[in-house]
Amino acid sequence: MNAKVEQLISPPPMQDASFDIWQTKYQLKTKTGAAVDQDINSTFDRAAKALSAVEEDGKREQYYKEFKWALENGAIPAGRILSNAGASEHKPATSTINCTVSGTVYDSMDDILLKNHEAGLTLKAGCGIGYEFSTLRPKGAYVAGAGATTSGPLSFMDIFDKMCFTVSSAGGRRGAQMATFDVHHPDVLDFVRAKREDARLRQFNLSLLITEDFISAVKNDGDWKLSFPVGADEIAEDNLDISDTSSFLFRNFPVKSGYITNNEGQVACRIYSTVKAKFIWDSIMTSTYDFAEPGFILIDKVNEMNNNWFCENIRATNPCGEQPLPPYGSCLLGSINLTKFVDRPFTDKASFNLKKYQKVIGIFTRMLDNVVEINGLPLIGQRNEINHKRRHGMGILGLGSTLTMMKMAYGSPKSIEFTEKVNREMAIEGWKQALSLSEEKGPAPIMEETFTIDEEMLLKRPEMRAEGYEIGDEIKGRVLHAKYSKYMQKIGEFEPKLIEALAEKGARFTHHTSIAPTGTISLSLANNASNGIEPSFAHHYARNIIREGKKTKEKVDVFSYELLAYRHYINANAMPFGTDDATKLPDYFISADEVTPKQHVDIQAAAQKWVDSSISKTANIPTEFPYEEFKDIYMYAYDSGLKGCTTFRFNPEAFQGVLVKESDLENTNYEFTLEDGSKVTVKGNEEIEYDGEIHSAANLFDALKEGTYGKY
């Protein structure tokens, strides 16, 4: 078959579930519900016009056409851009930014309530938000102004949780929050176990900030001292001896004001208790095994590899973890659908169109950079951050589907090599565009800012001292970014002249890549191509979606994109679990639970080498997976250089996932207690009529248990 004929083959038709999600999430409508976007092409057209409108007058038509072409050929801006770009006439108070992090939550009632207020405005604008709560003193600590003890960080998290649920219910879109918590904090075990209580903190994802010294203590079976800063006033009033190492220590802490610091910038902390590091580690692993949380952020690695290492101390991420951000940090997202670049799928001649891929990356980089000009963020701190640094996070989606279309098994050596290649190409092409855009429009303002070298900077980058830099010297942000960022140094191994030019002229933005989970845009606009860098969850399964006006989540049947494509191009009768030649799928059709945990980590590690922010990835673990083997996954992730790790093991006693397999539902029994006290047991996939509606048993049970019934 020649290339000209191949181009005429139509793609697989969009499945009903995908079209339905587009209508629900991204189709622009008037306040009366009348459609403004008539079809998906209209949504792309609206976004292309809005993003090209920020260009100079004589260039708008050219870039409108280029942007529209890129959108039709795999570029998919994140949901806030697709939903809100060009929609100001109908939604004037919404943002095009997916990711934000709160300002530092200081240890005072005034500031806690201020940050809750700011978070409400941020969620109302459609943005997700992350916070660190380990800046708040532990439960039982004395509060001098109140003459009483505090109830601790988790009780204040409950306030943010209720606020988020209220705002998201009113706005029709589920609010998204991330809470991070330092492993040094005395209340760390309460944080680890927080979600064991039904309905608690369900508007949060939870992640621990894991440090190098904690990992070392776990590996060496050492003691772990749980501590929290002691105020300078208290030290003076009570004449405390902070040199007493049995009662006090110095450690890194994000807040310095009001505390005593040493020469390295570490803060004096009171030791509350000492436990074995392995005890905390095992508690984390047990909770993660049973409840899929907390996640695991290797915060020292995050800061070590941060392109803005010289001016940021990152302590929190966006809700899904792919964007570690400083206080008030903001970032916009977009993903490229890799399935769009597979030629001759499912054949021995299957190939990836690298030239077309590079072209889409180049155009999409300009598109995402333009989003900064129409960010719509509600807080001045957020707007200052995004305008000063111009962060964006371009990533990929459909990796699992693409590997299948190219006859590669997910997790195999060839698939790992391919994963690294597509992410490396995205990185290098993106930084070429960073230089080109800087030459045309000017660099991000931070690149022209002058920084004064201090001891902390030289400790982080000893090569600067070796090159003759001294404390008090002044240096431009563009040099610190291009020459001394450890990530940019890796780019320099492939493109040394590019790095020299970026150090001289400055980049248009400080960060370029980030791999998001892409759940909704994958399902809708990519016709259920696999999420982000994940394998397909399964090839025929159910997805639980929130439907406006429905009292529980609705179970919707979906097919993986690769199954649709295989049925479209190769065998219309093929189905998962087919046993005869007429229906059987090839053995390279792999789903998430057939991938080993180490293979999940290997794929993530291959991508992370070339991703300057982070990656949202979940290793799906079979329900029966042995706990002892499970515990090793997180240490393997650390040893592999990851910035974070998250796992999910189906546990119907704890919760319903967003994605569920029919076999899991069929094998799970749910017990309901009726008004007369009698009990009835049904399978998870059975339908139940309750309160005038039909619900799946699993979703009804979950909604009643979690207190969300009728509140979506």
Whether the predicted pLDDT of 317 surpasses 90: yes
Domain of 485, in residue numbers: 447-505
Sequence-distant (6+) residues with CB within 8 A of 278 are 218, 221
- Long-range contacts of residues 434-442, Cβ cutoff 8 Å, at least 24 apart: 434/365, 434/502, 434/507, 434/508, 434/509, 434/512, 435/498, 435/501, 435/502, 435/505, 435/507, 435/508, 437/365, 437/366, 437/369, 437/508, 438/502, 438/505, 438/506, 438/507, 438/508, 439/505, 441/508, 442/508
The residue written with tokens 């219309």 in the block is 572
Return the closest-CA partner of residue 401 out of 335, 457, 445: 335
Give how far Cα 42 sits from Cα of 20, 26, 27, 37, Å: 15, 11, 9, 5
DSSP alpha helix (H) spans, 292-398: 299-304, 354-371, 380-389
Poorest-pLDDT segment among 118-122, 167-171, 229-233, 689-693: 167-171
Token pair of 394 as six digits: 């371009």
- Cα–Cα dist 79/28, whole Å: 12
Give how far Cα 418 sits from Cα of 399, 402, 600, Å: 9, 10, 14
Residue 108 lies in a domain: no
Phi, psi (degrees; rounded to nearest 5) at 231: -65, 150
Question: Longest C-alpha distance within the chain, in Å?
Answer: 85
Q: Rounded to a whole number, what is the distance in angstroms from the first to the last CA of the chain?
A: 51
Mean pLDDT confidence for 179-198: 94
Residue 39 lies in a domain: no
Residue 459 lies in a domain: yes
User: What's residue 7's pLDDT?
Assistant: 46
DSSP per residue over 453-495, as a string?
Answer: --HHHHHH-HHHHHTT--TT-EEEHHHHHHHH-HHHHHHHHH-
Percent of the chain with pLDDT over 90: 75
Which amino acid makes up residue 704? L
Whether the predicted pLDDT of 147 surpasses 80: no
Mean pLDDT confidence for 562-572: 95
Residue 685 lies in a domain: no
Return the closest-CA partner of residue 364 out of 332, 339, 399: 332
Residue 624 lies in a domain: no
Whether the predicted pLDDT of 691 surpasses 90: no
User: What's residue 667's pLDDT?
Assistant: 74
Whether the predicted pLDDT of 67 surpasses 80: yes
The residue written with tokens 């109302």 in the block is 124
Token pair of 626 as six digits: 């042995």
Residue 206 lies in a domain: no
Token pair of 341 as six digits: 């670049």
- Cα–Cα dist 417/95, whole Å: 37
The string of pLDDT tens digits covering residues 72-114 is 999 999 999 999 999 999 988 899 999 899 999 999 999 999 9
Number of domains in the chain: 1
Give how far Cα 641 sits from Cα of 238, 416, 608, 614, 628, Å: 44, 15, 8, 12, 22
Residue 709 lies in a domain: no
Whole-structure pTM value? 0.91
Which sign, positive or negative, has the C-alpha torsion 282, 299, 132, 289?
negative
Token pair of 202 as six digits: 């369900």
Q: Going by DSSP bridges, is the β-strand pair 330-337/316-317 parallel, antiparallel, or unpaired?
A: unpaired
- Cα–Cα dist 657/217, whole Å: 34
Instruction: Find the helix packing angle between 486-494 and 496-505, rounded to 10°.
Output: 130
| Pair 77, 334: CB distance under 8 Å | yes
DSSP alpha helix (H) spans, 650-689: 662-666
Residue 422 lies in a domain: no
3-state secondary structure of 321: coil
For residues 9 and 380, the model is more confident at 380
| Pair 616, 607: CB distance under 8 Å | no
| Pair 516, 628: CB distance under 8 Å | no
Percent of the chain with pLDDT over 70: 93
**What residues are paired with 336 via a beta bridge?**
75, 396
Whether the predicted pLDDT of 186 surpasses 60: yes
Whether the predicted pLDDT of 53 surpasses 90: yes
pLDDT band for position 2 (cuts 50, 70, 90): very low
The string of pLDDT tens digits covering residues 429-469 is 999 999 999 999 999 999 999 999 998 899 999 999 999 99
